[in-house]
Chain A
Amino acid sequence: MTDIDIEVDPALDAHLRRTLREVASTVPDRATSDNVVRLVTVPTRSDRGRRWAWLGAAAAASVVAGVGLTAVADRDSDHTTVPAATTAPLAGADPDMFGLANGCAAAHGRNAFDEPMNAVVFAPTGSAPNGIVLVSVDDVFFTCGVSSDGDAMLTDHSFVGQIWGNPPRGEAVQVLEVRADTSRSALVGPGRILIIGRAGAAVEGIDVALPDGATSPAQLVGRWFVADAQVPPDVPMMAARLNWHTRSGATSTSRVDLLDDETDAEACAGERGCVDAALAQLLNEARDAGRSEQAAILADGEVTNSERVASLTRFADCFNAANTGATATVSGPGGVRIGTSNLEDWDATERALDVDALCGAAHTVFVDDAWLLLDTQRRVAQR
């Protein structure tokens, strides 16, 4: 004991040590040493010298990251040109996540160098050249292909998606982005679904389940997870599910929806993708009209359009019968609009309604969906 230490009652001393040990032991290790997702935060600044320092940091990050991937930045003539210096291979740089992040950001039209940015590269272990990685730049997510020579490149088919319904309540679960790449269409494989997100501490495992019964466990590092599902030929990608397994043993399921940026509502008539096009149309209409008070609720993705309309009608009837002060109107297979006086009222409506209890029998329609969609609307409105 040094002269500044104080004497603590031995019983209390022992009790405190035991308490802290026991509590600490409840914190599990969610990282597996050999399956660590490459997750590298690469802060950048416009200052050239400092940028090089961070380049070194990104290179060193591979120590934590694991599997090698020697990607360097690509240049896209339509967008920002990445300075050649940043594409130079670094001694020991494996992978050059910095180059990849910047190449991807540049390919997507974001100037990675004129402004500070925070880039995070997500590449599931085993991702090889020609694979797809996710890159987040200032919280905007891109998919990026990695060519056989290690260059970052734009993916040919990229579908922004959403997760609908039923993440474990009470947990800080947040799915940030869903993107899929497929050589045929958004609707069926072969393809790939990548989901990135942050899960609450109570979430023990996450997997993507496909209609053919295959499941792909997500890799967890800290709160981040990356789920990477290869979709076999002819398997509907729209029917993918995201399963959340909590420490309590409970499992809840969310639906994975893929929205094709290029989808045209009329061109896809008769296909299930129309539902998503209809949703996109609803969002656009709401944005154009400034109707931020409207929320749309999607129905389950495994039903036909007519079944969906019927289901939504049942839901709307149920909703309206509840006299919440808001009015639900079926606006086609894409969803139900719920008119409220303003966005803030929606939270009160949601709380008062308890749709799961009230209308859950009508069909699998979740208020969570509407809440997520409100978020989408906000994002749309901010663009």
Chain B
Amino acid sequence: MSAAERIDLGECYRQQRADLVRLAYLLSGDRELAEDVVQVVFADAQHRWDAVTDARAYLRRAVTNRVKDAQRRRFRQPVPPTDAQWTGIPDVDETWQVVRRLPPTQRHVVVLHFYEDLALVDIAELLGRNPTTVRSDLHRAIKTLKGTIRD
């Protein structure tokens, strides 16, 4: 992408911030963490923006990595309460509760695959993990979801 085609960071912030917060929320299950992560990602992006050729991919990767880092630091903290109604749609809330309780590595793969619509090979590249491990994570997550979601 040429410099002329490159999206302005401010414009990118306005266009993509909300989507990225949503992605961070799905990855983390924590809205406040999600907002913090995205703020930091944009702050960090400022001094390397000129080198960014694919803004969406860069920001998605940065958000994912930030969420992973934050969750590592919060490893010992309990999962936030799960009795809330997120959407008011029973089957959706029930499924989200299961997704939210998946191990982080599995949840990340599920979100990136079904929400961001990434192929497993791209998820593996994004997460810096072996593709077969990612495949295995998705397989385990699907198995859990099948076993707990009502028909």
Interface residue ranges, A against B (CB under 8 Å): 1-2, 4-6, 8-9, 12-13, 15-31, 33, 36, 39-41, 53-54, 56-57, 60-61, 63-64, 66, 172, 200-201, 221-224
Contact = CB atoms under 8 A, between A and B. Distances in A.
Interface in B13-67: 13-14, 17-18, 21-23, 25-26, 31-32, 34-36, 38-40, 42-43, 46-47, 49
A1 B138 CA distance: 14
Interface of B: 8-10, 13-14, 17-18, 21-23, 25-26, 31-32, 34-36, 38-40, 42-43, 46-47, 49, 86-87, 89, 91-92, 95-96, 99, 110-111, 114-115, 119-121, 124, 131-132, 134-135, 138-139, 142, 145-146, 149
Report, nearest first, the 8 A-B pairs whose CB atoms are least far apart.
A29-B18, A57-B47, A201-B31, A60-B46, A222-B35, A24-B22, A63-B10, A20-B115
Contacts, number: 131
5 contacts: A8-B142, A18-B92, A19-B92, A20-B111, A63-B9
A91 to B, nearest CB: 14
B135 A4 contact: yes
A27 B34 contact: yes
Nearest to A9: B146
A4 B9 contact: no
Contacts of B35: 30, 201, 222-223
Decide if the interface of chain B is mainly helix, strand, loop or mixed.
helix
Nearest to B119: A2
A1 B121 CA distance: 10
A12 B91 CA distance: 12
A15 B91 contact: yes
Contact of A56 (B47, B95, B142): B47
Nearest to B40: A41
Contacts of B145: 12, 16
A299 B14 CA distance: 43
A54 B47 contact: yes
B26 A20 contact: yes
B1 to A, nearest CB: 17
A24 B21 CA distance: 9
Given A12-B145, A222-B39, A57 B46 contact: yes
